[in-house]
Amino acid sequence: MKFTLLIAMMLAAGTAPAQEAEAGKEVDTVQVNALRDPDFKTYRAFVAGLDEFDSKHALAPASALRFLLRPSAADASIEGVTIRIAGNETSIGVPLAADGTFAMPRNQAALDEDAEIILNRKKGSFRWRPDVHTPEVPANARRLGDLRLECEVRWAVDRQDLPFVKRTLITTLGGPCHTARVHVIQLAPRALAGYRMVAGERTVTAPAGAVGPDGMTYVVPLHDASWPDDALVEFEFAGQK
């Protein structure tokens, strides 16, 4: 049986924009919601993400790892939101920047205490994702290696929340960042009409269905080794002339 695994990781909402078919055969679809409690993660899970970033830093060697906190509802605001690492004896405030980004510090005592990450907001009101940006990438583009590294960090932090069977299946396929059968949803900076992949003289327009129906999500070929990490995903915004 062939599966297309549509991973709505962290901030993604709705159904993935493209379904895979082979030789005219129907392909079963498994919808995996990787984050059930997006504003409530263990500190140990975030440290797994920090470790993965260090391990895979060659994907985006000029970048630093931050995380992005965004409201789940359009009328919510990050104003006044606080983030705290809380253990039996440990309480560490995590500064939240005005743009919603934060850096998760390493602290051995918090790790030893199995500390939790606490927000001063109702559970489910905020979602988070890794935020990896190589300097000097144009504002209308994302670097593919940055997206690949974000994916690796997201998977490292989030995989323990998946049911055992789904986690095992995805792992068997090589993980969400290394197979065409997993569609990792990306969030667009604003509504897209489409995008193109660019690497040197090679330019390929995104296939039909690579951008979600509302233009706010998209899927890129993270798994495709023919595209180098320095390849750019160049956006065509809706209404752009």
pTM: 0.83
How far CA 14 is from CA of 83, 184, 186, 218, in Å, comes to: 27, 12, 12, 12
Quick: pLDDT tens for 107-162.
999 999 999 999 998 887 888 899 999 999 999 999 999 999 999 999 999 887 77
Quick: pLDDT tens for 11-33.
333 333 333 333 333 334 343 33
Between CA 92 and CA 83 the distance in angstroms is 9
Between CA 73 and CA 40 the distance in angstroms is 17
Hunting for tokens 């005005």 — which residue is that? 98
Go through 214-224 and write b for each residue having 16 or more CB atoms within 10 A of its CB, e for each that does not.
Answer: ebbbbbbbbbe
Residue 181 confidence (pLDDT) = 86
